[in-house]
Chains A and B, each alone.
Chain A
Amino acid sequence: ELKVEQNPLFLSMQEGKNYTIYCNYSTTSDRLYWYRQDPGKSLESLFVLLSNGAVKQEGRLMASLDTKARLSTLHITAAVHDLSATYFCAVLSGGYNKLIFGAGTRLAVHP
């Protein structure tokens, strides 16, 4: 059964600092998604990673995928307050019928 683990679950960062969120999954998958959720809001798609070694960047966020290690990272560069949100990774199941979500990382960026 596919399991997805994110860490840390809570991250308090200073503005301007860098940090990385990790997403490990237990069985082979060919697709990994990153989402952002603001309090009380829906999920906003950030990245879809399709292959080993895939790297995508948008602004201060960069996501990468290592399918051999079953690991994806979401790297935050020079954090700003606007990045405060909960970040979820989700892995496509082997049956291609659902996304299995991690528990989410709640990010708080403060001055």
Chain B
Amino acid sequence: EAQVTQNPRYLITVTGKKLTVTCSQNMNHEYMSWYRQDPGLGLRQIYYSMNVEVTDKGDVPEGYKVSRKEKRNFPLILESPSPNQTSLYFCASSLSFYKGRRGVNTEAFFGQGTRLTVV
């Protein structure tokens, strides 16, 4: 079954304690991305990756790190979490959006979400 898997689903942590949220996809997608969802603000992109070893900042990257050592995995790292990073996080993947110009389906698939609370 095609899917994007995030872990953990729920996490409560304390300020300053490093954490990693994992994301894995089984569709051989080039593109992966992290979003955070906050009430009234919709979804905002944190980081994205166009392919292995290629990552770049999104709109709200401060306080986050990512890596893309393998095509299927795209972990999100919070080195020193703070309360303003309390949010609902989603990982997404798709084929390269450029392929859509040739008529390839570039539907973006989302993980189940990780609800993070930093106290």
Contact = CB atoms under 8 A, between A and B. Distances in A.
Interface of A: 30-31, 33, 35, 40-43, 45, 48, 50, 88, 90, 92, 96-99, 101-104
B111 to A, nearest CB: 6
A43 B107 CA distance: 12
B108 A103 contact: no
A47 B45 CA distance: 20
Interface residues of B, number: 30
A105 to B, nearest CB: 11
B97 A96 contact: yes
The prevalent SS among residues of A at the interface is: loop
A40 B90 CA distance: 12
Given A97-B48, A97-B50, A97-B56, A88 B100 contact: no
A76 B30 CA distance: 34
A102 to B, nearest CB: 6
Interface string B15-33: 0000000000000000001
B100 A30 contact: yes
The prevalent SS among residues of B at the interface is: mixed
A26 to B, nearest CB: 15
B33 A103 contact: no
Given A48-B105, A96-B98, A97-B50, 4 more contacts: A30-B101, A42-B90, A97-B48, A102-B42
A45 B98 contact: no
A21 to B, nearest CB: 14
A63 to B, nearest CB: 14
Contact of B42 (A41, A48, A97, A104): A104
A104 B33 CA distance: 19
A42 B112 contact: yes
Contact of B58 (A40, A43, A98): A98
B71 to A, nearest CB: 17
Contacts of B106: 31, 48
